Structure 1
Amino acid sequence: MDEARRARLTAWLRAASGDPALVIEKMALLSGGAIQQNWAVDVSDGRAWVLRTDNAATLAVSHGRAQEFALLRAAFAAGVTVPEPLFLCEDAAVTGAPFFVMRRVAGTAAAHRVVRSETLGGGREACVRALGRELARIHTIRPPRSDLAFLGEPPVDACRAFVADQRAALDRQRTPRPVLEWGLRHLERTAPPPVPVTLCHNDFRTGNIMLDEQGVTAVLDWEFSLWGDPHADLGWLCAKCWRFGSDAQEAGGIGPRAALYEGYGDVDDARVRWWELGAHIRWASIAVDQAERHISGVERNLELALTGHMVPGLEWEILRMVEVRDAA
């Protein structure tokens, strides 16, 4: 961040925090964040914050920073383990884009490290039980909520709404994706009946969860949250594409599915499995969109380009899952 922006940010933080003597001692761009940027900000008196703002290109389905800040506040109030939300700035003139500031927490979210560790989160089974409890807290947030009005009207049938949304996403793509269409048709034919909707994090997975040796320290990245079927969050976490090579540990590559369910409470396993298939279709569609950001020249980025190479593997898994479900 250049000196002019840093000076504007300092002035804004002084006003927002009520501390006219505040000084930014250090700023560093954190790793990750293909869609958003996260900056570690150290300020006077030992305060450690994170500033979250937009990257050069964003996904159309991603909430803005004001909306994500509202979601973070709702989760914090519901007892979900999230970084405390502190300040929101919607004035793009300050740094070039809207941003919010949250308290920085300790731990790691690095997926490949998390799935290899036997001790992070208190051990594999303890960790996924805790993740189940976090999801159960998220799912206590239910419509209507005036502070979350930007989420729109809750769907009458979240499963069929998901199929319709994914079909529309595929129709926008330049290249036909027959395997994804095949998977969607299977979901359409086997959709379970509607259940009462809750807030869904909608990206609750390894890589978006901060852990230390004692347990969960933060649930991150609320930019895709929506009203939906709570089983969708469980299915997303259990999807093979988020196990990062630790395939035997069905809950995010971290621990056993049974322990996740135990931590969560009442779970319809067949419904979770339906959403697992949906998770692979959704991630494949997102991967295509991510690659398109690079190919189009909007944002030249190796990570975005490589994401597109995941699609064939996801298509293979979709075919396998449909075959297993049909056989059952």
Structure 2
Amino acid sequence: MSPTLRQRVDTRLRADLGVVPTSFERLPGGHSGLTYRARTDAGSYVVKAVPEGSKPIGRHDMLRQAHIISTLAKTSVPVPRIVAVDRDEPAWFAMEFVAGESLEPVLDDPEVQPHTAAARMRRAAQVLPELHALDPVDIPESGSPLTPADELARWARTLGAVPPALVEGGQRLLTLLERRIPEPMTPTLVHGDYRLGNIISVGNEPVALIDWEIWSAGDPRVELGWFLVFADGDNFPGVGRQVPGLPSAQELVDLYRAGGPALTDLTWFDALGRLKMAAIMGHNLRRHREGRHEDPDQEKLPATIHRLIETGTALLAG
């Protein structure tokens, strides 16, 4: 944390909360801003800040993130409590530090016990419709809703920026998706990266949905399709693991629906989720091989990229 930012946070926490900061440490991640844990004489807080020299737009728009978290605090969707917002540039906000685990069972370490992983996944499927029940019209900063066509165009651009050899077969999957783009549903509020890795859980219970960098108004099936990608370790050979006893995709969809009307075209959204993950991994592998972000673990990705494209294609080719 820069001395200037540290002083601003220190001064604000003392004045607003009456606490005395004792240390600041960078938390892992931070691809969409700087994230710190601020320890104080009265507990810890999480501080998210715009990186020095970056414009406060898109993923770096901390005020937009603080706005949606504060809005959701009045709903049943579990989110951390915002305790301070500083609008001066570079902007930052502070929220309560929520203790618990935010682990993706098929990907992250340490391993989550299978029965716990299954229970958390079921609860996540039950919480998601609470988020999707919120009308983005009531949230001024939600912007124009993203349709399935908009989502596909966005990820087509990401895929197109990756050398074809790293995402072999990706163009065929993209073509199959383009041939049968579903009509959009009524827009809902969507998180954009809804999965267990972004849900802090205590035991089996979700206590905070975090990482709101890309929230928007959009089609809820896009979010559901993305969530389902992480329900099967078979999707991640070489980088993931099989977790016995995880609920099937159909069970998760049924929990999400809770007896409501059937959701159409879910196979398309499942395939879209696989294309998205393949494009993201291809992008990360390209950056590694170009020396822009060296990470030897990226060399484990080709098998997963192939599997995601292969299974996504199989879903639609029939």
TM-score by length of 2: 0.81
Q: Which residue of 2 aligns with 1:91?
A: 88
Residue 264 (structure 1) aligned with residue 256 (structure 2): yes
Alpha-carbon distance in 2 for matches of 1:241, 1:34? 24
Alpha-carbon distance in 1 for matches of 2:204, 2:155? 38
266-275 vs 25-34, which deviates more?
Answer: 266-275
SS of match in other structure, 1:48: strand
Q: Which residue of 2 aligns with 1:211?
A: 201
Shift of 1:116: 3.3
Show CA shifts across 1:175-222 (max 9, x none).
245622211111122322221111111101131111121411211111
Q: 2:218 aligns with which of 216, 228, 233?
A: 228
SS of match in other structure, 2:265: helix
Q: 2:48 aligns with which of 45, 52, 69?
A: 52
Alpha-carbon distance in 1 for matches of 2:204, 2:311? 37
Residue 82 (structure 1) aligned with residue 79 (structure 2): yes
Residue 41 (structure 1) aligned with residue 38 (structure 2): yes
Q: 1:143 aligns with which of 136, 145, 162?
A: 136
Alpha-carbon distance in 2 for matches of 1:29, 1:43? 15
Alpha-carbon distance in 2 for matches of 1:183, 1:76? 39
Q: Is the 8 A contact 2:124 2:196 kept in 1?
A: no
Q: Which residue of 2 aligns with 1:284?
A: 278
Shift of 1:165: 1.9
Alpha-carbon distance in 1 for matches of 2:9, 2:185? 45
Distance 1:61-1:182 versus aligned 2 partners, 3 A rule: farther
Paired letter, 1:325:
L
Show CA shifts across 1:134-180 (max 9, x none).
211110222313432xx32124xx22222222223334x16245622
Mapping of 1:21-32 within 5 angstroms?
22-32=19-29
Distance 1:311-1:102 versus aligned 2 partners, 3 A rule: farther
Show CA shifts across 1:244-266 (max 9, x none).
423666xxxx5343443343223
Q: Which residue of 2 aligns with 1:255?
A: 247
Q: Is the 8 A contact 2:158 2:283 kept in 1?
A: no
Q: How many residues align?
A: 304
Q: Any gaps of 5 or more consecutive residues in structure 2?
A: 234-239
Alpha-carbon distance in 2 for matches of 1:27, 1:73? 23
SS of match in other structure, 1:144: helix
TM-score by length of 1: 0.79
Alpha-carbon distance in 1 for matches of 2:85, 2:287? 27
Paired letter, 1:209:
I
Alpha-carbon distance in 2 for matches of 1:301, 1:58? 25
Q: Which residue of 1 aligns with 2:163?
A: 175
Shift of 1:321: 2.8
Paired letter, 1:128:
M
Distance 1:101-1:308 versus aligned 2 partners, 3 A rule: farther
Residue 319 (structure 1) aligned with residue 310 (structure 2): yes
Q: Is the 8 A contact 2:13 2:21 kept in 1?
A: no
Distance 1:2-1:201 versus aligned 2 partners, 3 A rule: closer
SS of match in other structure, 2:59: coil
Shift of 1:108: 0.9
Residue 131 (structure 1) aligned with residue 124 (structure 2): yes
311-320 vs 275-284, which deviates more?
Answer: 311-320
Alpha-carbon distance in 2 for matches of 1:168, 1:153? 19
Show CA shifts across 1:18-61 (max 9, x none).
53xx31023222233444432121223x2321112346889986
Q: Is the 8 A contact 2:168 2:306 kept in 1?
A: no
Paired letter, 1:226:
S
Shift of 1:76: 2.2
Paired letter, 1:237:
F
Distance 1:202-1:274 versus aligned 2 partners, 3 A rule: same
Alpha-carbon distance in 2 for matches of 1:186, 1:168? 16
SS of match in other structure, 1:49: strand
Q: Which residue of 1 aligns with 2:10?
A: 10
Residue 152 (structure 1) aligned with residue 143 (structure 2): yes
Show CA shifts across 1:266-319 (max 9, x none).
364663332121112112222344455556666x453xx644752552233222
Alpha-carbon distance in 2 for matches of 1:59, 1:208? 22
Q: 1:109 aligns with which of 74, 78, 102?
A: 102
Alpha-carbon distance in 2 for matches of 1:152, 1:319? 34
Q: Any gaps of 5 or more consecutive residues in structure 1?
A: none
